[in-house]
Amino acid sequence: MTGPCSTRPFRDRSALATPARECSGACSSRHATIGAQYRASGIARAILAAASIVLAACSQLRSVERRAPQDLASVTATLPVEPRLAREAIAAAFAGDKRRLPEMLRRFSVARPGDDHFPRDDQLAHERGSQAALARYLAAPATARREDLFLYDFSDADDEKDYWRSEYYFDGRQVPFRCNFLIHLEPSGAAATAIEIFELSPRVWVGKKFSLEAHGPGLYLDIRDVAPTTADRLELLQVVRQLMAK
């Protein structure tokens, strides 16, 4: 029988505590290593983001270059038919079977004054580009613009496939371009029509840029407004002339 003063086997607990201390030291070392790696990774990401911002800013400072054999402020001609016949021939070509049109023009639909898609005067007043020509157009009375037509492509402006190659370059490469066309028709003498072609909303697809947008910093589309081209207006004028010859 053992009493209250009986001796119990002695157990050295220092040996049991040692592994815990060793584990605590190893874990602290691992945590320190992970923390250092995380900080280094964060610094690398910050440096990469800063470099991206600098590169994007440099890219945005570079301007788009226009390479045009000729630069015409206005594209005009005289058609050998009266305005009503010219308008009907153009409208029929863009409202019906478009397979005979150049590929670039097949995307367009046609609107007449009073249609929902025909641009209002206040919309034209805010157009960028050939402002002098548009100001002259807007100064004409509405009766002088009643035979006009609007060729429009309201497809997705964020889709590169809805652009075509034209006169603009960026960093030595040709960049996609798009616009809408306003065709002005008015009488010119007996049984003849004066035609003038305007480009509305001309723009180019440069690529992507780093920007701070509503959704936060990131890469966003770099689509820029540009001046009207000459080649595309001349191509449309040539198509109109061919329609009048039929």
pLDDT at 127: 81
Is the entire prediction scored with pTM above 0.85? Answer: no
pLDDT value, residue 190: 86
Query: What is the model's pLDDT at position 77?
Result: 97
Can you give the pLDDT at residue 56? 52
Q: What is the pLDDT of residue 40?
A: 66
CA distance 223 to 220: 9
Neighbour tally for 184: CB within 10 Å: 21
How much is the pLDDT for 155? 87
Average pLDDT per consecutive 10 residues, the chain (246 residues; last block may be shorter):
47 48 61 68 64 53 87 94 96 93 95 96 79 88 96 88 95 95 95 96 88 67 93 97 91
What confidence score (pLDDT) does residue 146 get?
96
